[in-house]
Structure 1
Amino acid sequence: MKILAISGSASRLSGNYYLLQAIADLWKDQTEVEVIEGLEELSLFSPKKLETGSPNEIKLVKDKISTADLVLFATPEYSNNIPACLKSLLEWCTASGEFHQKKVIPITFTPHEPRGKYAMQSLLMSLQALNARVLVQMTLYKTEVEIESHKIYLPEELKALFLEALQMCK
């Protein structure tokens, strides 16, 4: 099984990236996981750009999405929504269909409750429009994990939850 983990943050090497790294480390003996850092370098979507074809960096990410068996998202919440860079990536995939029936696990990872609620709603609406298969959704908070020197340590109950999610995907 091949998993693509996408940090939806506009910040390179954000907490969402480190969360995905912790999940990838947990799953490394059972599957192949590639983690994509923040999306801030990707070209913003516009219909005019689409007319001339996707830029190379977008094609590369779309190819990775196409070949993945599962796409795992971790996103912060910006102004009660997903970051513009994540929305833009999803818009690049609208016409070309990379997410059609693709297995997806969306995660919001924010500092504390109730943040993440609106980002999850927005992400789910976009994934529904793309006809993705959302297997499970998760809302996590930074208070639930231990963060030390740009590394996230998952507590045993979250490890069990993520291992169960992986088994559900197979």
Structure 2
Amino acid sequence: MKILGIAASASKSSSNYYLLKAIEDLLSSPDEMQVIEGLEDFELFSPLRLEKGVPNNIQAFKQQVLAVDLILIATPEYTHNIPAVLKNMLEWCTASGEFAQKAVLPITFTPHEPRGKYAMISLLGSLQTMKAKMETQLPLYKTDVHILDHQMELPEDIREIIETAIDLYR
């Protein structure tokens, strides 16, 4: 199974990125998952921009989406919503349909409960509009993991939850 992890934060090397890297380490096959960051490098979506053509980095991203079996989107919550960079990425893919029937595991990764609830609602709404297939969702919290020097250690119970969620898509 080929998995694409999308760190949906506005900052490079965010805790969402390190969460996805920890999930990548958890999986049995080292080439099973690729984690990307850098959504802030995407040009701002505009229907008028489409008339000029899709920028190369966005075309490459769309090809990555099409080439995998499962997408993990790990997002923080900004002002009770998903980050603008994630919304922008989704807008680039809405009309062209890369997420249609694509298996997606939405993950919110926020400091503590109850944060993440509104971001999840927003993300689910967008993914449902795009006709993505979602079997479950994961609200995770920084209080549930150990972070040291940009490395994340997932406790056994969190590892089991993540593995069970991914297994739903196998």
Could you tell me whether the CA contact under 8 Å between 2:18 and 2:150 is conserved in 1? yes
What is the match of residue 162 of structure 1?
A: 162
Aligned identity (percent) is 57
CA displacement at 1:38 relative to structure 2: 3.6
Residues 30, 160 of structure 1: CA spacing in aligned structure 2 closer, same or farther, 3 A cutoff? Answer: farther
Structure-2 separation of matches of 1:69 and 1:130: 16
The ranges of structure 1 where at least 4 consecutive aligned residues each deviate by more than 3 angstroms after the TM superposition are none
What is the match of residue 114 of structure 1?
A: 114
What is the match of residue 129 of structure 1?
A: 129
Structure-2 separation of matches of 1:145 and 1:68: 27
Structure-1 separation of matches of 2:164 and 2:113: 24
SS at match of 2:94: coil
Could you tell me whether the CA contact under 8 Å between 1:17 and 1:38 is conserved in 2? no
Amino acid at match of 1:131: K
CA displacement at 1:31 relative to structure 2: 6.0
1:49 correspondence with 2:46:
no
Could you tell me whether the CA contact under 8 Å between 1:76 and 1:109 is conserved in 2? yes
Structure-2 separation of matches of 1:38 and 1:146: 24
Once structures 1 and 2 are overlaid, which stretch shifts more, 34-43 or 115-124? 34-43
| Cα RMSD (Å) | 1.1
Structure-2 separation of matches of 1:2 and 1:130: 21
SS at match of 1:106: strand
What is the match of residue 29 of structure 1?
A: 29
Deviation digits for residues 114-163 of structure 1 (CA, Å, limit 9, x no counterpart): 11011000000000110000121010110000000001100000111111
Could you tell me whether the CA contact under 8 Å between 1:14 and 1:38 is conserved in 2? no
Could you tell me whether the CA contact under 8 Å between 2:24 and 2:30 is conserved in 1? no
What is the match of residue 66 of structure 2?
A: 66
State the number of aligned residues.
170
CA displacement at 1:30 relative to structure 2: 7.4
Residues 31, 135 of structure 1: CA spacing in aligned structure 2 closer, same or farther, 3 A cutoff? Answer: farther
SS at match of 1:147: strand
Structure-1 separation of matches of 2:114 and 2:157: 21
CA displacement at 1:51 relative to structure 2: 1.7
1:6 correspondence with 2:18:
no
CA displacement at 1:28 relative to structure 2: 3.9
Structure-2 separation of matches of 1:139 and 1:124: 12
Structure-2 separation of matches of 1:73 and 1:45: 19
TM-score (norm 1): 0.97
Amino acid at match of 1:146: H
What is the match of residue 102 of structure 2?
A: 102
